[in-house]
């Protein structure tokens, strides 16, 4: 038996989840008896992503990912060290990435979904990158911008939540492709980051003034792509400003996840009149088509210092629930990660 | 000079256009002096289409088609007879289709946009078909169902305004391709037409009971394609019922054209979660890709009696304004046409 501090899912929230009410830290005993092919990992970093809010829904509501079972740890992407193994693919001491619980140790049945990070101990790349720029958020940005966005040099892209895990990468990739890049964020610190560090062409704080007026001022020639992370009023403004044959990459709508009264978008007629394509996706849709190019391109850019990736690292499992709620409220500055333990 | 009864555009409506206020019948003199390549036509049939409501907007609002100039005749698709010609492509007596005014005679500068209907006088196909099943509405249905809808045998399609100019064809084409076809309409007569004449698998009257409940009952396995002609509440219901990787063919949103208070759609998050593609278009987008197949396929089906095409024919230019308003209100039963004159 292993003492295992965990973040347990307790109940479905209808608005923002509340630590202690909807999820809480508990220490449980883990029966670490491994069967053939099982792997026990010690978790180092956890990825906190907005889509996880959807997994906190009532289990009767169907979706593309299962809801979290009540009484079990919250789970998501992580970087971990193998501490026991009955699986030859994952020897003890190897560093892996995959789906793990929000807990100190996870028993991964059959080693399912794990992937070894080669040379992880000697690399200059921080381990948290494997759940960020080199992981799901990076692949999300890279593949969807390319396949749904169909970006062309000279076009203009507008990105909401542009300092977030995905948005900051979409912006930098679009700059590399020769687009004019506009971002919206929720604080002046983030605004500075977009303009000064990421070299966006224009940006605005959506909490100051009219979103539509800000977007119109930033995009006098309209926009060709809207990279959608927020929904609601920002989507409505984008629809007004999109050009003929514009594309909306529907990655997420974080403004709509924590309210029982979602925003009603009134100008969808623009989709007809301006022949717009709006398309949702999940990252696995594009794995086959883009996976190899993503690893090569983004890995190279990162090592050469051609892209920046800002992370917001909360330390300790005890802080995971607050960090998650903060992320849903836009308090994180960069990709939200929880550091569970040192390597 | 020719006496020329016309329907003149007077002012932009904010709600339903009102005959006498926003457009009115007037007899004007037409200076029928033809220059090189000009053609004078006598109009026989006019096509009344929902998109024309968009052309009645204020001229300051940009769109894919120009707004109607105030003081000029309303214009749209028509079938006409050439009565004078300085254009060798359009000899006197030929029957043509193209864009004409809502008037007895139109002087078509340079013969622009006209197309001769071959053997029109001897054909069993009624002339009105060239602005309906064999014209723009037919091509709209055929091309967008194929290219945006990506229909596959065994899938389910839901069509709003399913007895209209486009909807009735989409449904019959989808049946031919082996889909399960569901339609919504606004009267019980139209419901009977869908079920008994067009052999839809299910249909409902959107004015009776909850749209969402009706759609769920008609589509227990969900829908794979939503063919969107209406917008608002029907779009919202479709988003709830669409399956993973569903497609929305955004052809029109007639419920939103005549109100200053458009409906707010609150469940667009389904586009993300269910990886839906929603795409607007205009028929000319697909002309190159689909034009030849359309003419061959639909022409063959029509001659063989494999498809039905219901038209609602108002007689006389005097009745054109009321017929147009009636169409915007769903009072037409089938494709709305105005018969201006006998051949």
pLDDT of residue A256: 95
- The model's pLDDT over A285-334, given as tens digits with 9 standing for 90+, comes to 998 999 899 999 999 999 999 999 999 999 999 999 999 999 999 999 99
When the candidates are 3.90.180.10, 2.90.10.10, 3.40.50.11930, 3.30.70.100, the CATH number that belongs to A2-132+310-339 is 3.90.180.10
Q: Which of B235, B256, B272 lies nearest to residue A253, judging by beta carbons?
A: B272
Of the candidates B154, B191, B147, B160, the one whose C-alpha atom is nearest the C-alpha of residue B175 is: B154
ipTM: 0.95
pLDDT of residue B114: 97
Contact residues of A toward B, CB < 8 A: 54, 63-64, 231, 235, 244, 250-253, 256-257, 262-282, 285
- Chain A residue numbers with beta carbons less than 8 Å from the beta carbon of B276 are 279-280
Q: Which of A268, A270, A280 lies nearest to residue B276, judging by beta carbons?
A: A280
Q: Test B64 with A271 for CB contact under 8 angstroms.
A: no
- Chain B residue numbers with beta carbons less than 8 Å from the beta carbon of A250 are 268, 271-272
pLDDT of residue B212: 98
pLDDT of residue A75: 97
| Confidence band for B194, pLDDT divided at 50, 70 and 90 | very high
Q: What are the beta bridge partners of residue B30?
A: B2
Query: What CATH number labels A136-284?
Result: 3.40.50.720
Mean pLDDT value across chain B? 96
**Distance separating alpha carbons of residues A143 and A294, to the nearest angstrom:** 8
pTM of the complete model:
0.96
pLDDT of residue A65: 83
Q: Which of B64, B244, B273 lies nearest to residue A273, judging by beta carbons?
A: B64
pLDDT of residue B65: 83
**Distance separating alpha carbons of residues B262 and B279, to the nearest angstrom:** 20
Residue A22: CA count within 13 A, CB half-sphere:
19
Of the candidates A105, A109, A29, A99, the one whose C-alpha atom is nearest the C-alpha of residue A68 is: A99
- Chain B residue numbers with beta carbons less than 8 Å from the beta carbon of A62 are none
- Chain A residue numbers with beta carbons less than 8 Å from the beta carbon of B280 are 270-277
Contact A228, A24 (CB under 8 A): no
* Domain ranges, ordered by start, for chain A: 2-132+310-339, 136-284
Contact B48, B337 (CB under 8 A): yes
| Confidence band for A120, pLDDT divided at 50, 70 and 90 | very high
- The model's pLDDT over A55-114, given as tens digits with 9 standing for 90+, comes to 999 988 877 789 999 999 999 999 999 999 999 999 999 999 999 999 999 999 999 999
pLDDT over threshold 80, residue B249:
yes
Mean pLDDT value across chain A? 96
How many beta-carbon pairs below 8 A join chains A and B?
98
pLDDT of residue B63: 79
Q: Test B271 with A279 for CB contact under 8 angstroms.
A: yes
Own/partner contacts of A200-204, CB < 8 Å, gap of 24 or more, are: A200/A162, A200/A171, A200/A175, A203/A162
pLDDT over threshold 80, residue A265:
yes
Q: Which of A64, A250, A257 lies nearest to residue B271, judging by beta carbons?
A: A250
pLDDT of residue A5: 98
- Chain A residue numbers with beta carbons less than 8 Å from the beta carbon of B273 are 54, 63-64, 280
Q: In which element (H, E) is residue B236 found?
A: helix B233-241
- The model's pLDDT over A176-222, given as tens digits with 9 standing for 90+, comes to 999 999 999 999 999 999 999 999 999 999 999 999 999 999 999 99
Contact residues of B toward A, CB < 8 A: 54, 63-64, 231, 235, 244, 250-253, 256-257, 262-282, 285
Q: Write a three-state SS string for chain A.
A: CEEEEEEEECCCCCCCCCECCCEEEEEEEECCCCCCCCEEEEEEEEECCCHHHHHCCCCCCCCCCCCCCCCCECEEEEEEEEEEECCCCCCCCCEEEEEEECECEEEEHHHCCCEECCCCCCCCCCHHHHHCCCCHHHHHHHHHHHHHHCCCCCCEEEECCCCCCCHHHHHHHHHHCCCEEEEEECCHHHHHHHHHHCCCCEEEECCCCCHHHHHHHHCCCCEEEEEECCCCHHHHHHHHHEEEEEEEEECCCHHHCCCCCCCCECCCHHHHHCCCEEEECCHHHHHHHHHHHHHHHHHHHHHCCCCCCCEEEEECHHHHHHHHHHHHCCCCCCEEEEECCCC
- Chain B residue numbers with beta carbons less than 8 Å from the beta carbon of A277 are 277-280
Strand B39-47 vs strand B335-339: parallel, antiparallel, or unpaired? antiparallel
Q: In which element (H, E) is residue B325 found?
A: helix B320-328
Which residues does A159 contact at the CB level (< 8 Å), separation at least 6? A167, A170, A171, A174, A181, A182, A183, A184, A227, A229
């Amino acid at each position: 038996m292993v003492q295992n501090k965990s973040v347990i899912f307790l109940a479905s929230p209808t608005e923002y989840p509340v630590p202690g009410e909807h999820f809480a830290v508990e220490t449980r005993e883990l029966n670490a008896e491994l069967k053939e092919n099982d792997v026990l990992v010690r978790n180092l970093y956890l990825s906190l992503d907005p889509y996880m809010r959807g997994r906190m829904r009532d289990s009767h509501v169907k979706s593309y990912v299962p809801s979290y079972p009540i009484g079990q740890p919250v789970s998501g992407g992580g970087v971990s060290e193998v501490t026991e193994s009955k699986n030859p693919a994952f020897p003890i001491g190897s560093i892996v990435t995959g789906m793990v619980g929000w807990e100190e140790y996870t028993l991964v049945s059959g080693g399912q979904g794990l992937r070894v990070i080669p040379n992880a101990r000697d690399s200059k790349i921080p381990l948290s990158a494997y759940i960020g720029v080199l992981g799901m958020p990076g692949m999300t940005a890279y593949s969807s911008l390319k396949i749904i966005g169909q970006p062309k040099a000279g076009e203009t892209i507008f990105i909401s939540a542009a300092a977030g895990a995905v948005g900051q990468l979409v912006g930098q990739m679009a700059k590399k492709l020769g687009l004019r890049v506009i971002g919206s964020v929720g604080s002046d610190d983030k605004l500075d980051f977009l303009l000064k560090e990421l070299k966006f062409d224009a940006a605005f704080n959506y909490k100051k003034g009219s979103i539509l007026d800000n977007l119109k001022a930033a995009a006098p020639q309209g926009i060709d792509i809207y990279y959608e992370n927020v929904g609601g009023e920002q989507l409505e403004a984008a629809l007004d400003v999109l050009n003929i044959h514009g594309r909306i990459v529907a990655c997420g709508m974080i403004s709509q996840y924590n309210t029982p009264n979602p925003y009603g978008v009134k100008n969808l007629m623009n989709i007809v009149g301006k022949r717009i394509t709006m398309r949702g996706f999940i990252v696995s849709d594009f794995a086959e088509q883009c996976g190899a190019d993503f690893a090569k391109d983004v890995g190279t850019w990162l090592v050469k210092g051609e892209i920046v990736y800002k992370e917001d690292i909360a330390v300790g499992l005890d802080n995971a629930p607050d960090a998650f709620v903060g992320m849903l409220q836009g308090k994180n500055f960069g990709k939200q990660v929880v550091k569970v333990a040192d390597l």
